[in-house]
Amino acid sequence: MSDIYDEAKALAAEMLAPRSRGGNGLELSLIRVTTGEYDPDTGTTPVTTVQYDGSGFRDTYKQSDIDGSRIKQGDVKILVSPVLLNTADMPQPISQDKILFDGDTYTVQNVDPWDYAGLAVGFSVQARK
């Protein structure tokens, strides 16, 4: 028997699924680049790029929300599904991740997880081109 958390997560995933899968969202890719520790033997610092394919919905901020410093003109809100296209859990986006959405590339500025009883069932991402 599923609990209320599982039901909330499933509902968010269903609503934010790509239109091709019956949802209201579009496919997106979350790109995370991490830099390892400097290797003095090779003189390099390894860089790892991981791509997470999921889905979401893009929305705009109300003019009254745009303050010019925290939220700037042109920033968008991307509602990110809690599950990847392969049904695994979507990792929580972090600042400076990239999101490829509908042909545009955005940089994550801020993330507000949708907490339901202390567990994330989706993410609201402030993103900037």
Residue range of the domain that includes 81: 4-128
The domain total for the chain is 1
CA atoms of 103 and 113, how far apart (whole Å): 24
For residue range 13-69, list pLDDT tens digits in order: 999 999 999 999 999 999 999 999 999 999 999 999 999 999 999 999 999 999 999
45 beta partners: none
Q: Which amino acid is at 104?
A: D
CA atoms of 29 and 14, how far apart (whole Å): 18
Q: What's the whole-model pTM score?
A: 0.90
Q: Please give the torsion angle defined by the CA atoms of residues 67, 69, 75 and 77, in that order, rounded to the nearest 10 degrees.
A: -70
> Which CATH number characterizes residue 26's domain?
2.40.10.270
Tokens 């790109």 belong to 31
**pLDDT at 118 (0 to 100):** 75
For residues 115 and 96, the answer to whether their CB atoms sit within 8 Å is: no
Three-state secondary-structure class, residue 22: coil
